[in-house]
């Protein structure tokens, strides 16, 4: 039984569908992330994750490591 939560990240620096795909792949590579959907038009990335396995900080770090900006959207 694992917990599930959704984080809304404001991602910056995305200009096309490839950027969205890359961000999604990097996030989905993190253990505990179930799915990530990124829209380069709005800059919003919705991440479904298990809060016991992965932190917002690790998600932000993964996006930043891929060359983009990210912060938790309120
Ligand atoms: Cu791009």
* pLDDT of 2: 73
Domains in the chain: ranges and CATH? 5-72 (3.30.70.100)
Tell me how far the alpha carbon of residue 14 lies from the centroid of ligand 1, in angstroms: 6
Tell me how far the alpha carbon of residue 16 lies from the centroid of ligand 1, in angstroms: 4
Tell me how far the alpha carbon of residue 35 lies from the centroid of ligand 1, in angstroms: 20
30 contacts 58 by C-beta, under 8 angstroms: yes
58 contacts 23 by C-beta, under 8 angstroms: no
The DSSP call for residue 41 is T
The tens digit of pLDDT for each residue in 52-63 reads: 999 999 999 999
**Taking the model in full, what pTM does it have?**
0.94
Tell me how far the alpha carbon of residue 17 lies from the centroid of ligand 1, in angstroms: 6
Percent of the chain with pLDDT over 70: 99
């Amino acid at each position: 039984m694992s917990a599930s939560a959704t984080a809304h990240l404001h991602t910056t620096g995305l200009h096309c569908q490839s950027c969205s795909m890359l961000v999604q792949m990097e996030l989905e590579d993190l253990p505990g992330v179930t799915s990530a959907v990124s829209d380069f038009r709005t800059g919003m990335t919705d991440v479904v994750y298990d809060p016991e396995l992965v932190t917002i900080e690790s998600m932000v770090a993964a996006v930043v490591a891929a060359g983009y900006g990210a912060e938790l959207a309120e």
